[in-house]
Amino acid sequence: MLDVRTRKVAQILTKRYLRNYVIMLVTLLGLSLVANIFKTNGTFYETYAFLPIGGMTVIMGFFVLYTYPDFKYLIQNGVSRRTYWKGKVWAIVIAGALTRLLSYLLYFATQVPFQALSNRITYLHQLKTDISDSIFFELFGHASSLSGTHLGWTIAGMIIYGVVLTLEAWLWAMAIGALFSLLTRKAQVVVGIALVVGGNYLMFVILTWMTRHQEQMMINLLKYLDQSVLTSLPYSLLLDGVTAVIALLVSYWTFHHLYLRND
């Protein structure tokens, strides 16, 4: 059982994350509606059908980075570092799972039928097409996964895998946000700029290399996927679980070294 303070912290943060998700969803729908007004052809449901709703749960990780202001407020009101950490972990688990499940619900209940209507095919045909084109199916699927009762198990695996990846991403966002909170404001700006510049340069180098070696890279990748145990869903979930635990340990250590800054 959670103590009263931990439960209160988790409740406050969970409500914030869910509220931010709803705001992002409404904003995305609003922008799509406005964009559709200026389109010469097509309808709103065709625009909505292809919105990246699932990707919003990943973007939500940026809100989890927000650490120091909450720490400053809570520590000044008698909430310990450990309590803050536990409350935030619970908020991530609850809000992360709920937002990802809601994204899947919107996808299956609204986006798939709208896509089917736009493409003039049946719901089941559209669903199988979307799943067969997904990264999840490329990694873990096979032909029988989309026939008979295997389709239901494939969808269940896809949902479980999506929820696990979301929680893993949010936990790492929590760890990174806590690490940044150990730095002064000036150091955060310097490190942030360095990461952006260095990240863009690294991305440029990687994309240049990939362009030059695209064919050989695809051959090696397909060969690796055929032989790798990571193409087994249980092994992949185990690896994700290990990395999530590492993120928890990093954030636990960092939260216990947070301090009130003078900047």
Q: DSSP letters of 110-141?
A: IIHHHHHHHHT--HHHHHHHHHHTSHHHHHH-
Cα-Cα-Cα-Cα torsion 70, 76, 78, 81, nearest 10 degrees, comes to: 50
Whether the CB-CB separation of 138 and 236 falls below 8 Å is answered with no
pLDDT-based confidence at residue 25 (cuts at 50, 70, 90): confident
Q: Name the residue ranges covered by the structural domains of the chain.
A: 4-181+241-255, 185-227
Distance CA 74, CA 84 (A): 8
Q: Which of 22-36, 87-101, 249-263 has the highest mean pLDDT?
A: 87-101
pLDDT-based confidence at residue 14 (cuts at 50, 70, 90): very high
Distance CA 230, CA 11 (A): 36
Quickly count helices (H) and strands (E) in the chain. 13, 0
124-138 tens-digit pLDDT: 888 888 887 777 777
Whether the CB-CB separation of 86 and 6 falls below 8 Å is answered with yes
190-226 tens-digit pLDDT: 887 887 788 778 877 777 766 776 666 666 655 655 5
In the prediction, which pLDDT does 11 show?
A: 94
Cα angle 236, 240, 241 (rounded to 5 degrees) comes to 115
pTM beyond 0.85: the answer is no
